[in-house]
Chains A and B, each alone.
Chain A
């Protein structure tokens, strides 16, 4: 299946399991799914077979609330049976509303924002110390960037020349309260990362080929960590969810679900 079709399938599954759980982070899962699609299907050297191998690539999701996107991709990659997701957020299930290492394929427990980049920098530094060739990818929300821990880690990553580290910012422009620029403006973001010693690229976060190309260019500069600013649309793929604040953690009704599934079937 080509990745464009896969993205549509992933989007349908995200909605399916959010509807079942009656909980989930819909908008942000739909905005980052194309990125996860390309990462897990074409970039990361990780699979159920090498999930414990020391030299596997690591993906650590800092915006842990969008766990539905991660679960759907991990299930597709065979880390666990997709039917497990029927228990999402239910009593005694290990599939909670944030990534946890109880689930095969999940590298780190996240959910409190601003943790992914420091941990990733640590994992990347360990590769340098041990002369291993694995790479570390982390996905951040644009709303979580004001957490100071991100910028502390950004300094360390540049200081230790972690060119095996790649931070992807899901720049969907929205957080819970309002558009990100109204809550706490982080623009110009590329200049910030550059001034912290990172190499930066922009990409259309929904263009599969553009994502392939940008990942193929890693590291953007030798001895520098790489930041990818992925321009995305929150709620991407479902017309009435796109760019709407309320779909941050909105759960569709049965009727909305049907409309959404049809849109995703025949875009």
Chain B
């Protein structure tokens, strides 16, 4: 089975989404003095050290105080500044949740919350450092758009687009270098619209963030070894969900499998399931993510492999769903 014809992008071109984020933000800051980044001893992890050196007047450091980070960001944003509040996703969306709910979303202060090293990026640092709850809690809060880009292209596009919009956003990035899903950048990125990165009629793999790449690998494995053709979607916008695309996938594919670096509760999978059922699409459906248990210790890759979020694991789950 020749590998030459397989269009899975090469890892050699990989770059971490949070690095692309920092570079993009720097280019925006150069053009617009209103762009301000707020950090909580987090500029190192956020790859924002060069930003701080180049634009010291556009970076605000609050120290290790995430509630204050979000509160001050809300205040800054209320005056018309384009504010990016950057902190590890785990602390940002747990510690400062009330500030997010009240001071950003409810008061409609257009802060761009940026959760870095999200999901299980911090690996063996354990549960305090994992964010497997952020989609769930933020989905339940009105007036915040949730975006988890899959690769550098989506990241750069997302950062540019949210900067131009005066409304609350949550952007979620990991620190693992990610290959580009589509080398030609031919598939556009639009907030609220899933990116179909591969077409196939048998099963739809709907993934988000850093799980899109293994989903794409699994799709190629399914085609190569089982002649099963999968559609692969980067559902970068978790809320609002691309319902139009969901309807198309439900009509076209025999089964739907979702994949996310999040608890299986309350995230992308349950959002899709609820919408499908409510709209009478009774399909073979399954969702993959981190199960509701004491998360195994390991690197992000080890944790992914443990829970089957891998080329092999996703392909197996797809086969089981299709009863192959």
Contact = CB atoms under 8 A, between A and B. Distances in A.
Interface of A: 21, 23, 64-65, 89-98, 100, 109-114, 143-148, 175-177, 183-184
A148 B126 CA distance: 23
B64 interface: yes
19 contacts: A90-B297, A90-B298, A91-B296, A91-B298, A91-B302, A92-B298, A96-B125, A109-B127, A110-B128, A111-B125, A114-B95, A143-B41, A146-B63, A148-B67, A176-B44, A176-B45, A183-B63, A184-B61, A184-B65
A112 B95 CA distance: 9
B193 interface: no
A148 B65 contact: yes
A83 B306 CA distance: 25
Leading 5 A-B pairs by shortest Cβ distance: A184-B63, A111-B128, A146-B63, A89-B124, A96-B126
Contact of B64 (A64, A91, A95, A144): A144
A183 B128 contact: no
B128 A146 contact: no
Contact of A175 (B41, B62, B68): B41
Nearest to B67: A148
Contacts of B61: 177, 183-184
Contacts of B125: 65, 96-98, 111
Interface of B: 39, 41-45, 61-68, 90-91, 94-95, 123-129, 296-299, 302, 306
A177 B39 CA distance: 10
A103 B51 CA distance: 41
Contacts of B128: 64, 98, 109-112
Nearest to B48: A177
Nearest to A102: B294
B291 to A, nearest CB: 15
A141 to B, nearest CB: 8
Given A91-B302, A175-B41, A176-B41, A143 B124 contact: no
Nearest to A177: B41
A227 B296 CA distance: 37
B64 A92 contact: no
B52 to A, nearest CB: 8
A52 B123 CA distance: 30
Contacts of B123: 89
A114 B40 CA distance: 13
Contacts of A100: 126
Nearest to A143: B64
